[in-house]
Structure 1
């Protein structure tokens, strides 16, 4: 009888251990599935006869990374308000505005590059702070406030530039940042990586990051434990404006000119990357590492599909499909996290 009990216990322990192993494997797949897909696609496009040679060339890798540097920083700007429970649809327009401010400061007023960059960053902080006041202080609907600001800024950019580019007297040092490399790595990629590290530190290693997520998770509970919810919400938009304006400076460095573009074309890839970040690594939460993976996932997919002969419209279709997939999976992921909790 004792032996039978021991056998049953052994079977139970074995089943439990197998269940834990199964759950552990499922968690790994769930948390890193998008990363696995990125690696698989990269390898596939690198070895396919139609795309392999061009895809794995140094020139293509450098161009792919450099072209995504600005988009990554725009996506990083979304993280602060998203952690606090908001979507900021103005980040693309703020980036475009900062680009025009920096270019105008050098071209029209002859300011040195450091002063032009400072004015561009100040413009971003000003817009972000204004949005923070509208949303946090005056309880304006964030969708309406940020979309309205994006529309306003886009109109102001077109009115000022009259649809023309600003190319005169742009600092050579700034354009070198967007076009040259250091030891084979595009300088603009290193600059965006530095921004990513700072955002990661603020969101993951400081009390500010914990307050942001606390407010975004449950503002009422955060207020009850002493968090100044209004201040945190305002700061989230101000930081979003600051990072978005950094993207605008990098955009000027990359293009060598400021255009009349409203910046909306940068918004949707950034949204896609941020929503994808919530289904990888830190499930249910936007994260810097997840955003980097999301940006690379879309960039590698579009680049590879283009090289294998996909038509020119594939980029827009893929971005739209990826955004829908990311929003849907993020919604399912949040429900799953809530159930587990």
Structure 2
């Protein structure tokens, strides 16, 4: 059938508009990836940082430090997908690291120490889950309280002294050596990220988690057990943070006493940055990994370029605020489209 002139006149603008929209979608999905490349190139050519920043040692250091923050960030997105914050993930990882080191220092096998650390993280997640999902307490307040309580318990148990004796050499090797030229922790991160991506994007549980986060009332009306779903999200968060604690022990060569805030805020920044990429407006695992890399590359570049000690902290804070604003905007826009 021959198109009339009027039909052509209508069809042509539609085709013209479709292309920019498609390009805009690509820009949103992969804009953070492009930003990582731009930041990398900036510090690679900057005279103050170029030599040290592009060295193999610095690249390996960035990669080696990525798994801990990445798994903590992935842990945090499970409750966030359901609409709840979990500010205790950093402190949980530190406590689990201390548990892992303490069990080994008592002469127990490495496997038992790893299990104990993951279980310790799971117990923190269980307490959070019961308080939030069962008793309907505010997750913001509960997890901040837990993030304050846990470091206090760690200080009481350790007396403020790091636990570095009796650590199994194979665990130390896992944190410091490479496999196929890549830090061993990266391989574990690939497995964890792959499993979590599959659960969140390919299973009924993942769909229930997102449904609860979008509209709990509607989710309840279609038969989703909202409280149970929220319970599972906090339990998963604590367990993953416990696993991050094991890797932290491997990286540090022991259980180092700390509050976990130095892990929490980079992880949260990565989470909200990640919500602006790959699937804009939604928390997603791949976006989180890209967000972690962006933060790690930026902070490394700032330090190697001779920036003052306060600059990385300001960068992390500003990046977190901007990331929250962008992810909130994209989330609201996706709900209205």
In the alignment, what sits opposite 2:95? 97
Structure 1 residue 10 and structure 2 residue 8: aligned? yes
Check 1:202–1:156 CA distance in 2 against 1; reply closer, same or farther (3 A cut).
same
Deviations 1:35-89 (A, max 9, x none): 1111222223223343333222211111111112211111011011111111101
Report the equivalent of 2:26.
28
Q: Distance in 2 between matches of 1:6 and 1:208?
A: 51
Tell me the distance in 1 between the aligned counterparts of 2:6 and 2:305: 57
In structure 1, list runs of 5 or more residues that go unmatched.
none
Stretches of 4+ aligned residues off by more than 4 angstroms: none
- Cα offset, 1:6, TM superposition: 3.7
Unaligned 5+ residue runs, structure 2? none
- Structure 2 matches for 1:32-111, cutoff 5 A? 32-107=30-105, 109-111=106-108
Look up the SS of the partner of 1:296 in the other structure.
Answer: helix
Give yes or no for contact 1:30–1:280 (8 Å, CA) kept in 2: yes
Aligned to 1:231: 228
SS of the aligned residue for 1:310 comes to coil
Note if 1:248 corresponds to 2:248. Answer: no
2:308 aligned residue: 311
Matches within 5 A, 1:179-328: 179-328=176-325
Cα distance in structure 2, aligned partners of 1:151 and 1:44: 38
Query: 1:292-332 CA distances to partner (integer Å, 9 max, x unpaired)?
Result: 11011111112122222322222111100100000111121
- Is 1:129 the counterpart of 2:121? The answer is no
TM-score (normalised: structure 1): 0.95
Q: Could you give the per-residue CA deviations for residues 253-287 of structure 1, whole angstroms, max 9, x where no partner exists?
A: 00002122021221111111101111111111110
The count of corresponding residues between Structure 1 and Structure 2 is 336
Superposed displacement of residue 339, structure 1: 2.1
1:150 paired with 2:152, answer no
How many angstroms apart in 1 are the aligned matches of 2:58 and 2:311? Answer: 18
**Alpha-carbon RMSD:** 1.5
Q: State TM-score, norm by structure 2.
A: 0.96
Rounded to whole Å, the distance in 1 between the matches of 2:51 and 2:5 is: 59
Q: Deviations over 1:173-213 (max 9, x none)?
A: 11101000112101112222221112111111211111111
- What is the CA distance between 1:9 and its match in structure 2? 3.1
* Structure 1 residue 8, shift from structure 2 partner: 4.1
Asked if 1:116 corresponds to 2:113, the answer is yes
